[in-house]
């Protein structure tokens, strides 16, 4: 079991000995991971995927995917405990429906953590030094995710890729990979869409505790055992997501790198959306926080704003007044020495969301960008987002 204490840094210091050579990492990917996890991609060629495919009907405005008939990559990002495991199946199901009638490979759902068990040292570390198993194998799992995305892109497969953004540069590289890829037989580039989960720290910390101590499926990835994410890892992803959001807003040299971005509150409610295609950036959208045509992307301010938004009545009912905290308290004891303190920390964080906090010193172009008035939240339409980049 991983504890809530300070976590070792992936692949650094004493853990550097576990980082595989490039050749060994590539061999494991090609000989073990691809046959077991990605066979449906390896068996397809781009020509097989697109030959004789009739593009689905669309509005003709998609730059490269969805309604335009080309492949789609949706990158789902959020700190650990934000709810990626519950949102990803909605996106994958919508994507499967979107690609029906084509001969592209079935949807590739890619997560770095699922590959950790392929590391030669994982089993022994999990048995003897479980707190090291994840950080020791993390660097190669991240490399294998990049290889898997490269294989999927080469085959023109529709993809859902999950990332906690502990290493924001990895996320940036994956966006660039898909943005520069295309379906060679039809010369249609990928439509690159990003879903950002804007979840307050209190709710993601609570989610981590609930999923572990109640042994929910979200506490596992693939063949990984039940594990408790250390607080420092959560905090690193919480901060890394802000870096990723700033990059999405064009903070680097790449301009705005994604075609469409939606910021979701927990429960899949749209807080903000942006499209770099003018036809989809319109103030006439029912989403109160949709960027108007010609406006700059403001994913970062939207993320900060939602992290500061007071809890909605539904969240108060389910997360605070409900039974989750009481249930966790009842589990605290000698066999779970840190749980009581962790529950107390979450309660304190939740109290900070009962009313609007004072504005921060800086936020985007100004404090008003991420502090009320808070826009109305709209139901997310995963089918419309996958097919056309529209969030509602």
Q: Where are the beta strands (DSSP E) in the chain?
A: 72-77, 108-110, 159-163, 182-183, 188-189, 191-197, 260-265, 269-275, 378-379
For 74-87, the three-class secondary structure string (H helix, E strand, C coil) is EEEECCCCCCHHHH
Q: Which residues pair with 73 in a beta bridge?
A: 159, 192
What confidence score (pLDDT) does residue 352 get?
Answer: 87
Which CATH number describes the domain made up of 13-388?
3.40.50.300
What confidence score (pLDDT) does residue 262 get?
Answer: 97
Mean pLDDT of the chain: 82
pLDDT digits (tens, 9 = 90+) for 83-123: 999 999 999 999 988 655 555 668 999 999 999 999 999 99
What confidence score (pLDDT) does residue 101 get?
Answer: 54
Average pLDDT over residues 343-359: 81
pLDDT digits (tens, 9 = 90+) for 76-87: 999 999 999 999
Report the alpha-carbon distance of residue 273 to residue 280 in Å, rounded: 10
Q: Identify which has the larger pLDDT, 22 or 295.
A: 22
Report the alpha-carbon distance of residue 32 to residue 27 in Å, rounded: 8
Quick count: other Cβ atoms within 10 Å of Cβ 124?
10
Burial class (CB in 10 A: 0-12, 13-18, 19+), 220: middle
pLDDT digits (tens, 9 = 90+) for 256-265: 789 999 999 9
Quick count: other Cβ atoms within 10 Å of Cβ 27?
12
3-state secondary structure (DSSP) of residue 186: coil
- DSSP character at residue 189: E
Average pLDDT over residues 139-157: 96
Are the CB atoms for 392 and 381 separated by under 8 Å? yes
What confidence score (pLDDT) does residue 321 get?
Answer: 47
Report the alpha-carbon distance of residue 136 to residue 117 in Å, rounded: 11
> pLDDT grade, residue 68 (50/70/90)?
low
The predicted model scores a pTM of 0.86
> pLDDT grade, residue 346 (50/70/90)?
very high
At residue 142's C-alpha, the angle toward residues 209 and 170, to 5°, is: 95
Q: Which residues pair with 191 in a beta bridge?
A: 72
> Is the pLDDT at 57 greater than 90, yes or no?
no
What confidence score (pLDDT) does residue 160 get?
Answer: 98
What confidence score (pLDDT) does residue 151 get?
Answer: 96
- Of 196, 182, 184, 194, nearest in space to 65 by CA: 182
> pLDDT grade, residue 367 (50/70/90)?
very low
> Is the pLDDT at 243 greater than 90, yes or no?
yes
Average pLDDT over residues 333-353: 88
Four-residue CA torsion sign, 225, 22, 239, 243 = negative
> pLDDT grade, residue 368 (50/70/90)?
very low
Report the alpha-carbon distance of residue 251 to residue 343 in Å, rounded: 37
> pLDDT grade, residue 217 (50/70/90)?
confident
């Amino acid at each position: 079991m991983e504890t809530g204490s300070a976590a070792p840094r992936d692949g650094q210091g004493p853990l550097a000995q576990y980082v595989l050579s490039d050749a060994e990492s590539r061999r494991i990917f090609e000989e073990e991971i691809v046959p077991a996890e990605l066979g449906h991609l390896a068996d397809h060629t781009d020509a097989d995927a697109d030959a004789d495919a009739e593009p689905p009907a669309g509005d003709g405005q998609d730059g490269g995917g969805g309604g335009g008939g080309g492949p789609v990559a949706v990158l789902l990002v959020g700190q650990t405990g934000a709810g990626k495991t519950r949102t990803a199946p909605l996106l994958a199901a919508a994507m499967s429906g979107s690609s029906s009638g084509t001969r592209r490979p079935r949807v590739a759902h890619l997560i770095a953590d699922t590959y950790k068990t392929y590391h030669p040292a994982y089993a022994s570390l999990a048995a003897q030094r479980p707190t090291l198993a994840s950080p020791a194998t993390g660097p190669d799992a991240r490399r294998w995710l990049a290889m898997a995305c490269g294989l999927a892109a080469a085959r023109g497969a529709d993809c859902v890729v999950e990332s906690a953004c502990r290493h924001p540069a990895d996320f940036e590289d994956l966006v660039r990979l898909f943005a520069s890829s295309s379906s060679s037989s039809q010369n249609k580039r990928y439509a690159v869409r990003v879903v950002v989960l804007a979840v307050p720290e209190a709710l993601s910390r609570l989610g981590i505790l609930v999923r572990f101590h109640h042994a929910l499926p979200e506490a596992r990835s693939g063949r990984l055992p039940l594990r408790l994410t250390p607080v420092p890892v959560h905090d690193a992803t919480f901060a890394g997501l802000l870096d990723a959001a700033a990059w999405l807003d064009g903070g680097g040299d790449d301009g705005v790198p994604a075609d469409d971005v939606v910021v979701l509150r927990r429960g899949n409610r749209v807080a903000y959306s942006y499209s770099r295609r003018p036809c989809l950036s319109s103030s006439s959208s029912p989403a109160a926080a949709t960027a108007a045509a010609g406006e700059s992307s403001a994913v970062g301010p939207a993320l900060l704003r939602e992290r500061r938004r007071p809890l909605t009545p539904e969240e108060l009912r389910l997360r605070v007044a409900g039974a989750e905290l009481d249930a966790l308290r009842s589990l605290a004891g000698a066999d779970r020495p840190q749980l009581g303190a962790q529950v107390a920390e979450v309660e304190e964080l939740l109290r900070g969301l009962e009313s609007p906090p004072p504005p921060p010193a800086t936020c985007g172009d100004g404090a008003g960008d991420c502090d009320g008035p808070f826009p109305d939240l709209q139901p997310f339409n995963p089918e419309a987002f996958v097919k056309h980049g529209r969030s509602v």
